[in-house]
Amino acid sequence: MSTENTNNVLLIFTRNPELGKVKTRLAKGVGQENALTIYKQLVQHTHDVVVQNKCTKRVGYSVKVRENDLWETSLFEKFQQEGNDLGERMEHAFSEAFADDYKKVIIIGSDLYDLQPHHLEEAFDALTTHDTVIGPAKDGGYYLLGMKFLIPKVFEDKEWGSDSVLKQTLENLTSYTVQTLEELNDIDIAEDLHPYPEFTKYLVTN
């Protein structure tokens, strides 16, 4: 479409929605079936947000590329994540995007309920004047990372999923210009559901 910015690409990492394989920490508090239901709602929210952004969109699947799912092939390019850990998989996806001559590359997960279209717009805008952009999560990680060129050390030597990821990443970026976005809430454990009335019903356990 002529309205799309062909220099921008949004990478969306998603897990295949399978019982017992998504939101395992959340499942400890709400059960595996509820965790899967919640995850599907989070992914749908992400889909509905990102389709509003006029850029190339690539969905990276954790296990297997799915053709007939909510990520329409008319709107999303699809690929299989490659690498032994999250860092390697992200670095590979960024490398591919830069190799394809995109100038602004941003990555997000697919399960952030607080994400809104303006966060993506702000992130791409930030890369006009900054080397990198990052969206901090309240759990000590980040929900968004963007770059204008590859910075490999950002993806190395991290304990992914820990509360030190954001701090370590910012330390890696001290030589670069960084724009920080609004801090958002990541849903990883049952307590993270409390701000959302539509999810609190899953906290009722027998």
Q: What is the DSSP annotation of 109-137?
A: -S--TT--HHHHHHHHHHHHH-SEEEEEB
> What residue numbers bound the domain in which 137 lies?
5-195
Structure tokens at 169: 């990443």
Q: Is residue 204 part of a domain?
A: no
* CATH number, position 21: 3.90.550.10
Q: Is residue 139 part of a domain?
A: yes
Question: Residue 100 gets which letter from DSSP?
Answer: T
Could you give the count of Cα atoms lying within 13 Å of 75 in the half-sphere of its Cβ?
14
Q: Is residue 39 part of a domain?
A: yes
Q: Is residue 53 part of a domain?
A: yes
Which amino acid is located at 88 in the chain? E
Residue 72, classed as helix, strand or coil, is: coil
At 178 the pLDDT is 98
pTM over 0.85: yes
Rounded to whole angstroms, the Cα distance separating 71 from 57 reads 10
Q: Is residue 151 part of a domain?
A: yes
Q: Is residue 200 part of a domain?
A: no
Q: Is residue 202 part of a domain?
A: no
- Residue 178 phi, psi (nearest 5): -130, 130
Q: Is residue 163 part of a domain?
A: yes
CB 199 within 8 A of CB 38: yes
Domain count, the chain: 1
Contacts 24+ apart (CB under 8 A), 165-172: 165/140, 165/141, 166/134, 166/136, 166/137, 166/140, 166/141, 166/142, 167/140, 169/134, 169/142, 169/145, 170/134
- Residue 31 phi, psi (nearest 5): 95, 155
- Using CA atoms of 121, 126, 128, 132 in order, give the dihedral in degrees to the nearest 10: -120
Pairing of strands 55-61, 77-80: parallel
Averages of pLDDT over each 10 residues, the chain, 206 residues: 72 92 92 95 96 96 91 96 96 98 96 95 97 95 97 94 92 97 92 92 72
